[in-house]
Amino acid sequence: MLQVENLRFAYVSDQPVLRDVTFGLNGGDVLCVLGPNGTGKTTLLRCLLGLSRPAGGRIVLDGKDMSTVSSRARAEYMAYVPQASTIAFPYEAEEIVLMGRIAHLRVGASPSKKDESICREAMESLGISHLRRKMFNRLSGGERQMVLVARAMAQQAHIMAMDEPTANLDYGNQVRILRLVHHLAEEGYSILLITHFPDHAFLACNQAVLMKDGLVKARGSPEEVITSESLTRLYGTEVNVTEAPLCGCGLTAKVCVPLMSNGGRGEATT
């Protein structure tokens, strides 16, 4: 559904931020983008959303070159889920979700009964109907993130671009969001997930891209590209990717463990 081909971008002509970035995203894929700060992940997202104009390359959505379509048409293909944040004005949660219908409305038109029904169905599917009349800024971080996902669902785009959706959430809410990502993929959504947590790729993704200095260093399945060696090179600190047993059930899960040198804490033991 999404193909990025040799994408290039620079804020200053002789200082490229993205250099020949190439990857693809098919229906039902969850693609995790990993990389250190300042490597171009947010710039990549801005290019995909049409907020920044690439200096070269192509972004193709469902067979259409995105440089040839309007912002409104682009919104029919891709929805954006930002980090949970506060909003300046006092909107109810349902009003936030209704904003996802803007791409489908005529200029100046109000949401119809159909639009309201679509928004309520999105909230019901996420189990957050009880939040409809609550003020968005008074919700917990996890609740706000669920509302933002419902807004993206109400937009009825087939691709969701999520920018660190678990940032600033407690552990329980992080797990809930990752379960939701997995559920959305099963429903047919294609998801681009930007995160700073390599473990998320093993938990919720079937594809991974490692980026550094504006370049794609590796791409493929998480098992193929997320290794001790690749993470150590990517982040400049020693990381061990190992397998941990799961509660005596005979299964294992891959985990990423940073190797510490502060008096033995976090060091491997036998």
Q: Which conformational region is residue 230 in: left (phi greater than 0), alpha (psi within -120 to 50 degrees), or beta? A: alpha
267 pLDDT higher than 80 = no
Per-residue pLDDT, 117: 95
What's the start-to-end Cα distance of the chain, in Å? 47
| Higher per-residue confidence, 237 vs 83 | 237
pLDDT at 89: 85
Identify whether the C-beta of residue 205 lies closer than 8 Å to the C-beta of residue 31: yes
pLDDT at position 85, please? 73
Q: Per-residue confidence at 270, pLDDT binned at 50, 70, 90?
A: very low
Q: Which domains does the chain have, with CATH numbers?
A: 2-224 (3.40.50.300)
Alpha-helical segments (H) within the chain = 41-49, 71-75, 93-98, 113-125, 141-154, 171-186, 199-204, 222-225, 228-235
* pLDDT per residue as tens digits for the range 210-232: 999 999 999 999 999 999 999 99
Confidence of residue 262 (pLDDT cuts 50, 70, 90): low
Q: What is the DSSP string of 139-189?
A: S-HHHHHHHHHHHHHHTT-SEEEEESTTTT--HHHHHHHHHHHHHHHHTT-
Tell me if 84 sits within 8 A of 149, measured CB to CB: no
Between CA 55 and CA 51 the distance in angstroms is 13
For the ranges 50-54, 85-89, 147-151, the lowest mean pLDDT is seen at: 85-89
Q: Which two structure tokens, joined as six digits, stand for 95?
A: 């009003």
Radius of gyration of the chain (CA): 20
Can you give the pTM of this predicted structure?
A: 0.87
Residue-wise pLDDT tens digits, 162-198: 999 888 888 988 898 899 999 999 988 999 999 999 9
Tens digits of per-residue pLDDT, 107-121?
A: 778 889 999 999 999
- Mean pLDDT value across residues 36-47: 93
**What percentage of the chain exceeds 70 in pLDDT?**
96
Mean pLDDT calculated for residue range 96-103: 92
pLDDT number for residue 57? 95
